[in-house]
Amino acid sequence: MIEVRELRKSFGQVQALKGISFHCEPGKVTGLLGPNGAGKTTTIRILSTILKPLSGTATVNGFDVVRESDKVRASLGVVLENTGLYRRLSGDENVLYFADLADVPRGEALERMQFLYKLLEIDYGKRQAGTYSKGMAQKINLVRSVIHDPPVLILDEPTAGLDVPSTVAVRTFVEQQKEAGKTVLLSTHLMNEVELLCDYVYIINLGLIVAEGTPEELKKRTQSSNLEEAFMKVVKE
Ligand SMILES: Nc1ncnc2c1ncn2[C@@H]1O[C@H](COP(=O)(O)OP(=O)(O)OP(=O)(O)O)[C@@H](O)[C@H]1O
């Protein structure tokens, strides 16, 4: 579960978040959509405890992102476009290093790693991460993000710059996490991704939530034949 209430954040004169509220439920994929500069990354950085809000509250798995940041981090898997893998380590070593940091027993970590490798068709875990293509690295990054089996998963543009097979792998992963009952927050610019994956969507613009609903509701409300059109109408308003 993620609960965000009246979250505000400024960078100097720029009001990146002007009091946004939303929530994400277990077993659902919630989309956070918005044009460039809308405030999506700022929101995700606050939820990941990298940034502190100016005011308002946010909880992840019931823990406050400011007062209980350790518990929030333990509850969270975060996938960013930049994978940040250690290039000199193999994929396996990257994954297991994270498992160690999260105090996951080795047997459990290996079992989970093998399950996810199979799901994502990873057969290159023994190779140095520095030799991976972007898609290969992102798939290892997905495994690493959930090796501690967190109840909440946040993905920021997880398919940016990936080819079709890698994009499909990311989607398979998101669907599996949803089926496993995880709370998933997905930030993306890709409307077909939203249509395929998201149960509920919040559209953010200029630091405010300007619309919310299921993809179907948003299309209906804006009398649009597709989500891209609905998005454009909402953002222009
Ligand atoms: N560290 C920072 N210093 C100054 N301004 C910032 C900083 N981080 C974000 N901003 C500003 O805050 C606003 C929201 O930015 P944010 O990165 O959250 O948007 P976004 O929705 O993630 O955009 P994109 O889709 O381009 O990634 C923008 O006006 C941005 O320029």
Choose the residue to mutate in 10, 13, 14 for probing ligand 1, maximizing ligand atoms within 8 Å of C-beta: 14
Answer whether 13 contacts ligand 1 (Cβ < 6 A).
no
φ and ψ at residue 57, rounded to 5 degrees: -130, 155
The phi, psi pair for 102, rounded to 5°, reads -95, 10
Read off the tokens for 6: 């009246």
ipTM of the shown complex: 0.95
pLDDT at 233: 87
Rounded to whole angstroms, the Cα distance separating 49 from 2 reads 13
Burial of 165 (0-12, 13-18, 19+ CB in 10 A): exposed
Strand pairing category for 183-187 and 29-33 = parallel
pLDDT of residue 189: 85
Q: Give distance in angstroms: CA of 43 to centre of ligand 1.
A: 10
**Residue-range domains of the chain with CATH:** 2-83+152-236 (3.40.50.300)
Q: Quick one: tokens of 139?
A: 């798939």
Phi-psi category of residue 3: left, alpha or beta, with phi > 0 → left and psi -120 to 50 → alpha: beta
What is the model's pLDDT at position 202? 96
Angle at 149 between CA 90 and CA 209, to 5 degrees: 105
Q: Please report which residue ranges of the chain form alpha helices under DSSP H.
A: 40-47, 69-75, 91-101, 106-119, 134-145, 164-179, 191-197, 215-221, 227-236
pLDDT tens for the 237 residues of the chain, in order: 999 999 999 999 999 999 999 999 999 999 999 988 899 999 999 999 999 999 999 999 999 999 999 999 999 999 987 768 999 999 999 999 999 999 999 999 999 999 999 999 999 999 999 999 988 999 999 999 999 999 999 999 888 888 888 889 889 999 999 999 999 999 988 888 898 899 999 999 999 999 999 999 999 988 988 888 888 888 887
